Amino acid sequence: MRRPPIGDGAGRGTEMLDIKFIRENADAIRKAVAEKKAALDVDRLLAADEKRRRQQQAVEELRKRRNELSKAIPNLPSERKREAVEEVKRLKEELDCSEKDLAAVQAEFDELMLWVPNIPAPGVPRGDGERDNVELRRWGESRKFEFKPKDHVELAESLGLVNFEGPRRFAGGRSYALVGAGAMLELAILNFAMKTLVVRGFVPVLPPVLVRERAMIGSGWLPYGREESFRIERDELYLAGTSEVSLVSLHCDEILSDAELPKRYAGWSVCFRREAGAHGKDTRGLYRLHQFHKVEQVIIGRNDDAETERLHMEILSNAEAILQAIGIPYRVVLACTAEMGMGQVRKHEIESWMPSRNSYSETHSCSTLGEFQARRLNLRYRTSDGRLLFCHTLNNTAIASPRILIPILENFQNADGSVTVPQVLREYMGGIEKLEPVRRR
């Protein structure tokens, strides 16, 4: 199977894979559709493509005949001019109809192309669900308590870190407010993560979270995640579910230079997700919420698979370094095909140890998307030898809060109900070393 040709259709910005590649590798696309459980009929896409090409040819032929005849009219004998003018008028009407037919089939083709999944990279495990993810390594030891531990909700409430009831009265379910030391702890975690990335060469960005549909489609959040996205219909804007949406869109329609790649961005933003597919799931506490804060790593790199894989491991190691510095036990798993997003060619997850769940649970997701986002966003670069190539994009969570508060509170709790503040966070907490229950203050 050959790699898709680079640069074809670069100005359109609606495709994940080049259509020529899809025609020549239809079975590989069908396999990816099945493995990722994608909502795409490949045969329908190919039929729409064939119809589109036939209609394009018909339009071009009509346009050519009309133009040739129009150009010839001034030189025709007078007795032929009237006949020619009538024929040009007829051709124009026929062309208008053909162009409308082309627009309709083009719209169908463009919509179907948005549902084409990326092909998983070699080495990605095939599987039907989370149980088929492959564990690669663990760091740290899960804590063995000499007392009956509390879960994060009990701890957060007894420590006065969170208010659930008030926000849920005026903001609805899955709402919360971090207060006092809870707000300080979240800011400490986010600031520590941002500082870690800046030291490692990432440019900090506070991006917009209100974005147009172009950014949602370009980043791959639409059409797949439409049910998970908040839309402000009056202004035709969306609330982004991650700063990745804005960061990969920063250079849409640009041609970057080879010398300025890779670009490393650390985006800090509030994130919004409807959690429509999680009805009744993880409703207790801080695990699955509509609104949260996240520091996200995004890299825009060269179209080089080997370099992209190295960058993938770089941002994965950054996230691990943050967890290790805080002292949270975790494991790294390689996601199977069914657990990958439509645009991902490779995905690792980091799962932090959460004592109350007696399991490792996802807190980070590290993804390589190849050209998937760059093609949609028309994001290219010029190589040193003058070629125009689509960029590769990657992303990974650096830290997301308040979900990360779960393993921090639960793993660092003490028998007296207090929670020890991890050493690396204390400078961001004004030197506070321990969070004490409210009744003891």
Active site residues: 273, 288, 362, 365, 403
- Burial state string for 130-159 with b = 16 or more CB within 10 A and e = fewer than 16: eeebeeeeeeeeeeeeeeebbbbbbbbbbb
Element (H, E) at 237: strand 237-239
d(CA 287, CA 406): 8
End-to-end CA distance of the chain: 67
DSSP states of 252-295 as a string?
A: TT-EEEGGGPSEEEEEEEEEE---GGGTTSS-STTSS-SEEEEE
Half-sphere exposure in the Cβ direction for 143 (13 Å, CA): 22
d(CA 404, CA 397): 11
How many angstroms separate the Cα of 160 from the Cα of each of 60, 177, 393, 400, 402? Answer: 71, 11, 41, 21, 15
State the residue for tokens 């109900």: 417
Cβ burial of 9 (10 Å; 0-12, 13-18, 19+) is: middle
Locate 74 and state its tokens.
Answer: 């001034």
Half-sphere exposure in the Cβ direction for 297 (13 Å, CA): 34
